[in-house]
Amino acid sequence: MTSPAPSPGSASAERKVFLPTDVDPTVFDEAFLRQLERLLLLMKSPVRGGLKGGRRSVKRGQSVEFADYRDYSLGDDLRQLDWNVYARLERLFVKLFIEEEDVTVTFLIDGSASMAAGRPSKLLFAKRAAAALGYIGLASEDRVAVTVLGGRVARRQPSLRGSGRVFRLLSNLSAIEVATGATDLVMAARHAAAQLAGRGVVVLISDLLDPAAERVIRELAATGSELVILHVLSPDELDPRLEGDLRLVDVETGDGMDVTVDLATLDAYKARLAAWQAGFADVAAKRRASYVSLPSDLPLAELVFAELRRRRVIG
């Protein structure tokens, strides 16, 4: 991956991150980066990580920022007693501090053959979304990992940390290609769930075109992680421009179906599509997961600053 930078004699010293063409043809300029850096992937409940991170916890630990007092209990660390308070009140109090936690944000990117459909493709949208949200995570000192779901397995890349690793993140995303043959999304997601270490944020980016896709949501939610589902469909899938006698072919299995498309067929299709999406939203809501349906041609800025902020995925 090449990363052009302004020449020493350039009039502008702005920091710019040029995304590879197979991630995003636009430029992450200084203003956009600054806006991303002010955001945070929201969590509904605290995470207990093994390392100190950049995310504030609602629990109390040991750090440099004082939070509150509580009564001393037998077995508490005597080094945390406030002797000045004891001298005034003759009561023992333990000092509490804000603890910062280590959080891993894992992007599960559907690499099935159907993700290659659309203009732009659903896979390209997934890469763009993961690039923007991944940068938010890196800037927040969260760990960021990318896992590709293809075939029956999940290929997890090493986790990254710190905004300086954004180029490695983009390079990893650029290398993702669709799998050949059929993908068992349930088995691949189960494999991915087994690779998760502790709780964190899991962002599934998929078209969910698997007969058992609802089970994927249930199994990922069962890991205890904060689950976000970005359900991506192409404009042609959301509003087909088809008519007449056609043969539709499954890109993964090669199975075909002969159909006659007219206005009644299209109306029935859209009604079933809406019900299908509503089913996913219902399953997600019951498991405290966030479900967001998106077209693959949605601009990146609108995704981040409108859709995901409105849904309280980021803030």
> Which of the listed residues 68, 101, 134 is the one where a domain comes to its end?
101
pLDDT tens by residue, 1-37 = 444 443 333 333 444 554 445 554 444 566 666 777 7
Question: Is there a single domain that holds both residue 61 and residue 184?
Answer: no
Question: Do 97 and 148 have their domain in common?
Answer: no
Pair (225, 306) in one structural domain = yes
Among 69, 101, 133, give the residue marking a domain's end. 101
pLDDT in tens, 208-265: 999 999 999 999 999 999 999 999 999 999 999 888 888 988 887 888 898 888 999 9
Evaluate whether residue 13 is within a structural domain: no
- Does residue 267 lie within any of the structural domains? no
User: Quick one: CA torsion of 47, 51, 52, 57, rounded to 10 degrees?
Assistant: 10
Asked whether 209 and 114 are in contact (CB, 8 A), the reply is yes
| Pair 140, 189 in one domain | yes
pLDDT in tens, 108-158: 999 999 999 998 899 999 998 999 899 888 888 888 999 999 999 999 999
Q: CATH number, domain at 142? A: 3.40.50.410
DSSP the chain: -------TT-S-----EEPPTTT-SSEE-HHHHHHHHT--B--SS----SS--SEEEEEEEEEEEEEEEEE--TTS-GGGB-HHHHHHHS--EEEEEEEEE--EEEEEEE-SGGGG-TTTTHHHHHHHHHHHHHHHHHHTT-EEEEEEEETTEEEEPPPEESGGGHHHHHHHHHT--PPSS---HHHHHHHHHHT--SS-EEEEEE---STTHHHHHHHHHTTTSEEEEEEEE-HHHHS----EEEEEE-TTT--EEEEEE-HHHHHHHHHHHHHHHHHHHHHHHHTT-EEEEEETT--HHHIIIIIIHHTTSB-
- On whether both 93 and 194 belong to a single domain, the answer is no
Pairing of strands 55-71, 93-101: antiparallel
Q: How many domains does the chain have?
A: 2
**Where among 63, 79, 101 does a domain terminate?**
101
Query: In this structure, is residue 12 part of a structural domain?
Result: no
Q: Are residues 165 and 111 in the same domain?
A: yes
Range of the domain at 178: 104-234+292-310
Identify whether residues 166 and 110 lie together within a single domain. Answer: yes
Residue 251 domain flag: no
